[in-house]
Structure 1
Amino acid sequence: MPGTGPAELEASAVSAWFGSRKVLDRVSLTMPAGRVTALIGPSGCGKSTFLRTLNRMHELIPGAALAGEVLLDGEDVYAPGRRLTEARRDIGMVFQKPNPFPAMSIYDNVVAGLKLTGVRASRSTKDRLVEECLTRAGLWKEVRDRLRQPGGALSGGQQQRLCIARSLAVRPRVLLMDEPCSALDPTSTRRVEETIQELAGEVTVVIVTHNMQQAARVSDRCAFFLAEQGTPGVIVEHGPTEAVFNRPQDQRTADYVNGRFG
């Protein structure tokens, strides 16, 4: 029986390849349950690849390979008996560009995941779920009078919150977010950040961000990735966000968080 509530996610010596090119080298990181962990670092250092190893999306890429373990509350998501759909249900994903099903109504967008994970639900259950998930994603008040309108008619920031609501509908224990605000204006960004902070505690959040202020605002813990001169990505330093930003142990971390490179 799957657990409920936020789960601890632990990557242990994760290495990743695209063909013969190694892009991550023995990355280990604990992402505590019910907390927000930010992955920071310059472009091309393996943050998004690492994020995609956590819910088995990396393996969808032709020629991609992986070593190491990813443990969800101590259970390996890559264990031979574990179904891919189970990993995806427990560990949801919100992408960089909002990707609602444009022709599908707002209501149907939220419940779309139920079909994919084989969950049968009555109309009243779906109604409650739609309201709950849109509320948790900070969108209910804006859209409750137009649930039958297409998701594609919403603004970019609303579409991203709709995608968050859609992810939450299957009750994930972890939510992965790959630069969820990079395509959004400052006001929408602030709303999505508020949503992330409200979700913390109910779900474990792992977010890739290039925005240092955002990492400082929304995360409890932070991991700084770096890939130097053609070497695979590694974690230089990780720990409580406040410590990584204000008392970094490594000069490269200090240089990056203070905007001296990247």
Structure 2
Amino acid sequence: MTETAVMPKQSAYDAVALEAHSISAWFGEHKVLDRVSLTMPARMVTALIGPSGCGKSTFLRILNRMHELIPSASLAGEVWLDGTDIYDANIKVTDARKHIGMVFQKPNPFPAMSIYDNVVAGLKLTGTRASRREKDYLVEECLTKAGLWKEVRERLRQPGGALSGGQQQRLCIARSLAVRPQVLLMDEPCSALDPTSTRRIEETIAELRDEVTIVIVTHNMQQAARVSQQCAFFLAEQGTPGHIVEAGPTDDMFNAPVDPRTADYVNGRFG
């Protein structure tokens, strides 16, 4: 008898490894990723680097089943979270996303919704019940973890859309944390932010990594060097699908890369 797949038991911020095995992806007939395999260890930040158009963001979206929302999209391969394939037919999309949160390039709080209600919005979306006292505690906890509590604690009932861009991005991080994810995916979370807001987001990432496995797409090599412990260098050459040229500890990737193409990219000679 075949064992029915279930998502692993989830406790508060219980970081676990995420593994991609031979991921290939298409948009219609166009193949954009070719047999990408990568282990993203628990309690580390893994940075996905590489030129535009090499499939980094597509790969990131595959990690929490957003790729399948595009009508023409398809994929092959497996994504394992703590021993369970999130693409197993018995795994619901909503269950996968409880465990694997996403923060996008452009901050996307619900603009008319209050700061407080933005944070707890994920509970309703995932069908999680909580008392008012539990919600109050969760809002303070998540805003604190996102580095925003001290700035907004006196105005929790004001609209989330009234915050600055950097504050909105940290609000989105808090919203993602509210459902107790084990993995947090970030797609260029600082690309639209000023240097001060970028620094605050990077500080937040550093504080979160002991509790949540983080995977971040970034085009900023200095940022990758600052925030990550592991890097994966994606490349798509001469019309071929994106693939990983090299992956390993960030220090090695920047200071002693194995492939000359990696050295050229991290040193700004192309891309």
TM-score (norm 2): 0.96
**Corresponding residue for 2:270?**
261
User: What is the letter of the counterpart of residue 130 of structure 1?
Assistant: V
Question: How far, CA to CA, are the matches of 2:44 and 2:58 in structure 1?
Answer: 21
- 2:23 maps to 1:3: no
Task: Provide the residue aligned with 1:176 in structure 2.
Answer: 185
Partner of 1:235: 244
The sequence identity of aligned pairs, in percent, is: 80
Counterpart residue type for residue 10 of structure 2: G
Find the partner of 1:145 among 134, 147, 154.
154
Determine the structure 2 residue equivalent to 1:27.
Answer: 36
**191, 216, 239: which one aligns with 2:200:** 191
Correspondent of 2:145 among 132, 136, 155? 136
Distance in 2 between residues matched to 1:238 and 1:25, nearest whole Å: 15
What is the CA–CA distance in structure 1 between the aligned matches of 2:206 and 2:38, rounded to whole Å?
A: 21
Partner of 1:52: 61
Is 1:81 the counterpart of 2:75 in the alignment?
Answer: no
Tell me, yes or no, if structure 1 residue 120 matches structure 2 residue 94.
no
Aligned partner of residue 254 in structure 2, secondary structure: helix
RMSD: 0.6
1:36 to 21, 45, 48: 45
Q: Deviations for 1:79-126, whole angstroms, at most 9, x for unmatched residues?
A: 010011011110000000000000000000000000011011111100
Structure 2, unmatched stretches of 5+, are 1-7
How far apart in 2 are the matches of 1:36 and 1:66? 25
Q: Would you say 1:103 and 2:112 are equivalent positions?
A: yes
State the distance in 2 between where 1:106 and 1:3 align: 26
- Out of 172, 176, 184, the residue aligned to residue 167 of structure 1 is 176
State the Cα distance separating 1:43 from its structure 2 match.
0.1
> Which of 203, 216, 221 lines up with 2:212 in the alignment?
203
Deviation of 1:204 (Å)? 0.2
Question: Following the alignment from structure 1 to structure 2, what is the Cα–Cα distance between the partners of residues 74 and 138?
Answer: 32
Question: How far does residue 2 in structure 1 lie from its aligned partner after superposition?
Answer: 2.1
Write the letter of the residue equivalent to 2:176: S
Q: Pick one of 100, 111, 121 that aligns with 1:91.
A: 100
Deviation at 1:3, TM superposition (A): 3.1
Alpha-carbon separation, structure 2, partners of 1:234 and 1:58? 17
Name the SS of the counterpart of 1:180 in structure 2: coil
Deviations 1:111-168 (A, max 9, x none): 0000011011111100000000000000000000000000000000000000000000
1:34 to partner: Cα distance: 1.2
Residue 47 of structure 2 aligns to a residue whose secondary structure is: strand
Q: Secondary structure at the match of 1:33?
A: coil
TM-score (norm 1): 0.99
Structure 2: distance between partners of 1:167 and 1:244: 30
Letter in 2 for 1:118: G
Alpha-carbon distance in 2 for matches of 1:188, 1:214: 13
The answer to whether the aligner puts 1:157 opposite 2:166 as a matched pair is yes
Q: Distance in 2 between matches of 1:72 and 1:175?
A: 12
Look up the SS of the partner of 2:22 in the other structure: strand
Mark the runs of 5 or more structure 1 residues left unpaired by the alignment: none
Corresponding residue number in structure 2 for 1:248: 257
Cα distance in structure 2, aligned partners of 1:43 and 1:133: 32
Q: Give the letter for the 2:259 counterpart.
A: D
